[in-house]
Amino acid sequence: MKAAASAEPGPAIASHHDVLCFSHHRWDLAVQRPQHLLGRFARERRVFYFEEPLRGRPRIEVKNRGSRVMVVTPHVPAGLDEAEEEALLRQLLNRLIEVEEIDRPIAWFYTPMALGFADHLQSAVTVYDCMDCVDELGGFVGAPPALAARERDLLGRADLVFTASEGLYAAKRREHPRVIPCPGGIDREHFARAREPLPEPPDQADIPRLRLGFCGVIDERMNLDLVAGIADERPDWHLVMLGPLGKLDPGSLPRRANIHWLGARPYADLPAYIAGWDVAIMPYAHNAATRCTGPTETPEYLAAGKPVVATAIRDVVHPYADRSLIAIADTPDMFVAASLRELMRCDQHWLRRVDDHLAGCSWDDTWSRMHRMIAQSLADRTRARARRSADLAFGVCREVA
C-alpha cells in the first residue's frame, strides 16, 4: 500500500506518483546529493533507488533504507554481453514494477546508461538530475563508451534537467529547453556541531596537530601528487583523509607517516572528525573529471567553521574564493602558505560572513525548488493531454456533423 502524502507548501504532486530513480552511485557508499534529495521526496511518497547491477544469480534485492526509500540492487550473471545484460535488467525492472505496483512514476535519472533497459518506462514526468559532465567523463575509470550517446537520448526524453553545479548548467543550458541550476545544499545544523568541542573519534585522537583534513569520496578527482607534496613540505603536519575509495587502486595512494587514510566513516560521525581539524582541504586535480564538478564539501567545511584551502576548481572559486571565504592553492608550497594565512584570519567576522553566505543554501531549499518545477511540469502535461483530448473530440464532432 502506498503512503499518503504529507502536507507540503507550494505546488502539489499527487501521492500516487512514486519516484523511480536510476543511479550509478551506490546508496550505501556515501551520503551525497541523491540521499539528501530523494530522502526528502520519501517523506511523502515511495522512492525506489535502482542501482547498477552486482554479479550473481538473476534477481532483484530490495532493502528499506529508512522512511520510504527502497534500494533496489539487481543481480545479473557474469559473462553477459551488453545486449544480454540490458535485456535481463529490463525483465528485472518490469518485475519490480509489477510486484510493487509502480504506476506512472516520476522517472529520475542520474545515469543515462539506464536508458538501455528503462526506455520503455511509462512515466508521469522524466527528470535528469545531472551530477557529472558526460562529455568529460572519460576522466573516470570505467566510463562506458556509449555514455555520451545515451545522454543525448535522455536529453531528448527529459521534461526537466537539473544540474548539480553552475559549471554543469553552463555546459548543458543550450542542450535542453528546461535546464535549471540546482547546486547542492548544506545540512547546516549537522556540520555546525563541529564548531563546538566534541569527543575525538578513537582513530583520530592520537594523530598529532597541526591537522589538515579531507572528507569525501576519494577517486580520480583527487590530486594524489599534491597530497604527497603537502605531506613532504611539512612533515610535522598531519593529513587526515576520510572517505571511501572510488575505483582507485589502494596501492596508488601515497604513503607517508603523516598521511592517514582512515577510510569511510558514518555520516553522523563526520562533525566529530572535522571538529578535530585545523584546516579543511580540497586537493582536487585539474582534469576532465573535475571540469564541471561542484564539490559539496565546500559549504560543509564552512558550516563546520573550518578554514578551507582548495585547488582552483571552477565551482569552488566561484563564489567561495571570490567572496574571500576560502583560499585557493595549486602547489604544495602554496597550500602550506595558504593554510597558515587562513588560520590567522578565521575570526568571528569571517564566521559571520560565512553564515551570511550559507543562509538560504540548505538542501531543503534545493529540494523545494525541484519540487515546484516537477509539480509545474506535471500540471503542464495534464493540461496538454486535456487539450489533445478536447481537440480530438472536437474533430470527431465536426466529422459527424
Using the Cα atoms of residue 261, residue 222, residue 309 and residue 217 in order, give the sign of their dihedral.
Answer: negative
The answer to whether the CB of 27 falls within 8 A of the CB of 34 is yes
What pLDDT, on the 0 to 100 scale, is given for residue 351? 94
In this structure, the number of other CB atoms found within 10 A of the CB of residue 7 comes to 6
Bridge partners of 308? Answer: 280
Is-same-fold flag (19-185+370-382; 188-358)?
Answer: yes
Beta-carbon contacts of 150 under 8 Å, excluding residues fewer than 6 positions away, are 112, 113, 115, 116, 144
What pLDDT, on the 0 to 100 scale, is given for residue 12? 75
End-to-end CA distance of the chain: 47
Bridge partners of 59? Answer: 75
- pLDDT per residue as tens, the chain (401 positions): 343 334 444 557 887 899 999 999 999 988 899 999 999 999 999 999 999 999 999 999 999 987 799 999 999 999 999 999 999 999 999 999 999 999 999 999 999 999 999 999 999 999 999 987 765 554 455 567 788 899 999 999 999 999 998 888 888 889 999 999 998 889 999 999 999 999 999 999 999 999 999 999 998 899 999 999 999 999 999 999 999 997 788 999 999 999 999 999 999 999 999 999 999 999 999 987 787 777 889 999 999 999 999 999 988 998 899 999 999 999 999 999 999 999 988 889 999 999 999 997 899 999 999 999 999 999 988 787 777 766 666 565 555 55
Selected from 3.40.190.10, 1.10.10.10, 3.40.30.10, 3.40.50.2000, the CATH number assigned to the domain covering 19-185+370-382 reads: 3.40.50.2000
What pLDDT, on the 0 to 100 scale, is given for residue 143? 65
**Position 120, amino acid:** H
- All three cell numbers of 40, joined, read 526528502
What pLDDT, on the 0 to 100 scale, is given for residue 139? 44
**How many residues in the chain?**
401
The answer to whether the CB of 47 falls within 8 A of the CB of 71 is no
What pLDDT, on the 0 to 100 scale, is given for residue 2? 40
CATH number of 188-358: 3.40.50.2000
Integer CA distances (angstroms), 78 to 58, 75, 212, 391, in order? 10, 9, 42, 51
Whole-model pTM?
0.85
* Domain regions of the chain by residue span: 19-185+370-382, 188-358
